[in-house]
Chain A
Amino acid sequence: MTTTVTGLADPAELPGPAGGVRPGGRRRYTARQRRNLRLGLLFISPWILGFLVLVAYPLVYSLGISLFNHTGFRTPEWVGLGNYSRLVQDPLVAISSANTLFYAALAVPIGLVVAVVLALAMNRKVPEVGLYRTALYLPSLVPVFALSFIFIVFVNPSFGLLNQFLALFGVPETNLLGDPTSAKLIIVTMAQLGAGNAALIFLAGLNNIPDSLYEAATVDGAGTLRQFFSITLPLLSPSILFNLVTGVSGALQVFTQAYIVTGGGPNNGTLFYMFHLYNSAFSYAQLGYASALAVVLFGVGMVLALIIYGLSRRFVNYDVTG
């Protein structure tokens, strides 16, 4: 690349033939803008390539292959919307969708509340806050697969700690992974150990709220609760939006925990949507059908993201100025 001048007055930028109208009626750019456009696109070219290879191609390919009966061994056979009509009738799709919904409906809101409470507590800036921050973030560093092994040991009826703890409250020895609902609840509980990540993001959001707002509110006689709902929550809304969308997106993909801890059981109780997709593709080699599942997952994910963004226009507040 040769020398460039960006963001500065540049002789080439002066009005003149350089910034003429293009034949197609496209916007007119000055020479500097054109050069910056070239440079900018050059700098972001890794992302453009990534978008094409890792996002656009997979989407188009999934859409296409979902119209075929594709096993990866024989020549794909055109089935039109067959995979989609099969999907609608597949009882495992209904079960795994319900399981995923159950998981998302519990894990995401609980996770947000836990994370906000932890962030508010850390924001009190007690002197040893660094200690808590480390302790609370540590489980986020533990790979889900390792955490899954720990939980297998943890909930084991004969030598796990959890049953012993429950016994204190008179709960009889039970195999918590033996019941579809309690197995799902165990996986929801596991997810809460990742709250440290969201809590740190909330903490960063809290740090951006100017103290002067609270001082003014106190002088005006607003109580702690009132301050929380009138100042903290609205100004924290961008972080809430971020954590909500990543939380929902993550919940739609829940897989590893179930794969290791329960293998999808008992009685398909922890067969989550992503697990069913994985099984269809890599255990049963039904790549066409699995692609249809993937396309539906993508659609649901996008619709949910759009709904959340739509709602966020009403409640997300970007007006904070530090």
Chain B
Amino acid sequence: MSTAATAPGRRVSLKTQNRVRRTTTGIIARAILIAVSLLFLVPLYWMVITAMKTDEELADFPPSLLPQSWNWSIFGEAVNAFPFWLQFGNSLLVTVLGTVLAVLSSYVVAYGFACIDWPGRDKVFYLVLATIFIPFPVAIIPLFDLFAWLGWVNTLLPLIVPNALGSAFYIFLLRQFLLQASVEAMDAARVDGASEWRICWQVVFPTARGALIAVAIFAAVASWNDFLGPLIYLQDPSVQTLAIGLQSFSTETDTSFNQLMAASTLTVLPMVVLFIFFQRYFVKGLNVGGFR
């Protein structure tokens, strides 16, 4: 600081030094990113090309890095080898309903924690935070008994309904965002005599679009990818989701690897498309509050 003021020459050298350092770290950063990105894409690449290989080519050693001919018909074969579309539909139903319920309920709760100033609010919020870290498996036996008692086992309800009770992590993310919501707009609406419920949906909700989409993506991916829940609650193939359908398909003796990989590719695809489509919001949503 003082050096910079008294010795302009040093300041220039510092700047140059800084620029050189930035270029070097830039090159290193790029090298790391390219290397790790490729490494991370290898499993997905292997999934797709293994799917497209013929049975004969699969037996080749060493394995070819590209299929000799692209066997597109494998997707049709895989889809017909097990109740793919039925289970795809089940997954879709669970994911769409679960996501909508999780986002809306978490939003309402987050509004209660961020936009209404009630005594004891922050203490209760600590409890919400604490529950983020409770390992879910602790609850599997009691919840199984509860859902069995309700007659919900072998239905999709255990995978959908609990979402209506909010999720601690999504509440946390949305609260961080809502803390930055415009107090003026809310107070103006209150002066105009709007109810808190109306303010929640008509004043604040439209401004929270980015954070809501981010949470929706989290919730959709979690629902679509859930394995333990469907494994426990769904025994009947007609109600199973793709997670379990694929698992039982993979353990059938005549299942070929290319069919399994083709079915896996079709399972992964919707989430990849969703992410690429909404990536912008997703990254923004994560930036909210910087995870304090």
Q: Does A314 have its Cβ within 8 Å of any Cβ on chain B? A: no
Enumerate chain A residues within 8 angstroms of B111, measured Cβ to Cβ: 43
Chain A interface size, under 10 / 10 to 19 / 20 to 34 / 35 or more:
35 or more
Could you tell me the dominant secondary structure of chain A's interface residues? helix
Q: Does A141 have its Cβ within 8 Å of any Cβ on chain B? A: yes
In the bound complex, do residue A150 and residue B43 qualify as a contact, i.e. CB atoms below 8 Å apart? yes
In the bound complex, do residue A204 and residue B165 qualify as a contact, i.e. CB atoms below 8 Å apart? no
In the bound complex, do residue B116 and residue A161 qualify as a contact, i.e. CB atoms below 8 Å apart? no
Enumerate chain B residues within 8 angstroms of A282, measured Cβ to Cβ: 232
Enumerate chain B residues within 8 angstroms of A51, measured Cβ to Cβ: 127, 131
Within 8 A of A (CB), among B3-55: 3-4, 14, 18, 21, 25-26, 28-30, 32-34, 36-38, 40-44, 46-47, 50
Which A residues lie at the B interface, using CB under 8 A?
Answer: 1-8, 27, 29, 33, 36-37, 39-44, 46-47, 49-51, 53-55, 57-59, 61-62, 65, 72, 114, 117-118, 120-122, 124, 126, 129-147, 149-154, 158-161, 164, 193, 196, 200-201, 203-205, 207-208, 216, 218-221, 224, 238-239, 242, 245-246, 249, 252-253, 255-256, 259-260, 274, 277-278, 281-282, 287, 290-291, 294-295, 297-298, 301-302, 305, 318
Give 22 CB contacts A-B under 8 Å.
Answer: A6-B190, A33-B119, A44-B109, A54-B162, A55-B139, A121-B32, A126-B26, A126-B33, A136-B37, A137-B275, A138-B272, A142-B44, A143-B271, A146-B264, A146-B268, A149-B261, A153-B50, A161-B42, A193-B43, A255-B228, A294-B138, A301-B135
Which B residues lie at the A interface, using CB under 8 A?
Answer: 1, 3-4, 14, 18, 21, 25-26, 28-30, 32-34, 36-38, 40-44, 46-47, 50, 58-63, 105, 108-109, 111-113, 116-121, 124, 127-128, 130-146, 162, 164-166, 168, 171, 183, 186-187, 190-191, 193-197, 200, 221, 224-225, 227-228, 231-232, 243, 246-247, 250, 257, 260-261, 264, 267-268, 271-272, 275-276, 279, 283, 286-288, 290-292
